[in-house]
Amino acid sequence: MDQVSERAEVLYQEQMQIRRVRADRMFAALMVAQWAFAILLAVLVSPYAWSGKVREFHPHLYAAIFMGGGLAVFPVLLTFLQPGSTLTRYVNVVSQMLWSALLIHLTGGRIETHFHVFGSLAFVAFYLEWQLLLVATVVVAADHLLRGLFYPESVYGITNPEWWRFLEHAGWVVFENVVLTWGCIRGVKEMQAMAQRQAEIESLKESEEAKTAALQMVLKELQPSSAA
């Protein structure tokens, strides 16, 4: 690998790291916002359960506070402790997809809340890493499969969904991932091309500066001869 290519790779990695740190910060803010929204949703939708004359908080509220807190705290901590790291990215992705699962549960499997999954995938694509999209897809498919088997009301809103329902949802996720993966690959290629052009410009500039310095040296050497 020549010096220009090596420099281009360095520039590309620097830009990718900047992008990762920014995406980490975006996810940290998103986690906090989702936590607040989940608590508000639980309070407004099902804050209490009644059993005769006994009035007590609904489990949804506890789920929003404690499960939501667990999903929010760890990504936020990693964003401050290890910004741009591989661990932070994967924790952000898994947590975000689990947030979709929690919000779907809190709304009783409303089909509208399932769109949160697609929005989450769009956020994951900010990293420009198709591997993270694959992880997100596995998390979504596993969640729909397991909850569809043991607690279908929380994910589909009905008690007896078809066994293949999770495949239908996963299929739409895969469809979006095809588009997002293409966008990630294209984005990476564009960043690499920009880094290559910048490296070439820097190399050309250094070459011109070297030529100028050499010319000035020759002129200085010729000046005493001309004076004599």
Secondary structure (DSSP) of 105-153: HHTTS-GGGGHHHHHHHHHHGGG--HHHHHHHHHHHHHHHHHHHHH-TH
Phi, psi of 110 (to 5 degrees): -60, 135
Per-residue pLDDT, 68: 93
Per-residue pLDDT, 16: 95
> Around 215, how many Cα atoms within 13 Å sit in the side-chain half-sphere?
6
* Torsion sign across C-alpha atoms 115, 148, 88, 178: negative
Per-residue pLDDT, 182: 95
- Determine the length of the chain: 228
Closest alpha carbon to 15 in 161, 214, 189: 189
**Coil, helix or strand at residue 164:** coil
- How far is 14 from 194, CA to CA, in rounded Å? 12
**Coil, helix or strand at residue 56:** strand
Range of the domain at 96: 3-227
Contact 177, 120 (CB under 8 A): no
What's the total number of domains in the chain?
1
Residues of the chain with pLDDT under 50: 226-228
- Please name every residue paired with 48 in a beta bridge, in sequence order, or none if there are none: 57
Computed over every residue of the chain, the mean pLDDT equals 86
Closest alpha carbon to 139 in 93, 172, 199, 88: 93
Per-residue pLDDT, 26: 96
The answer to pTM > 0.85 is no
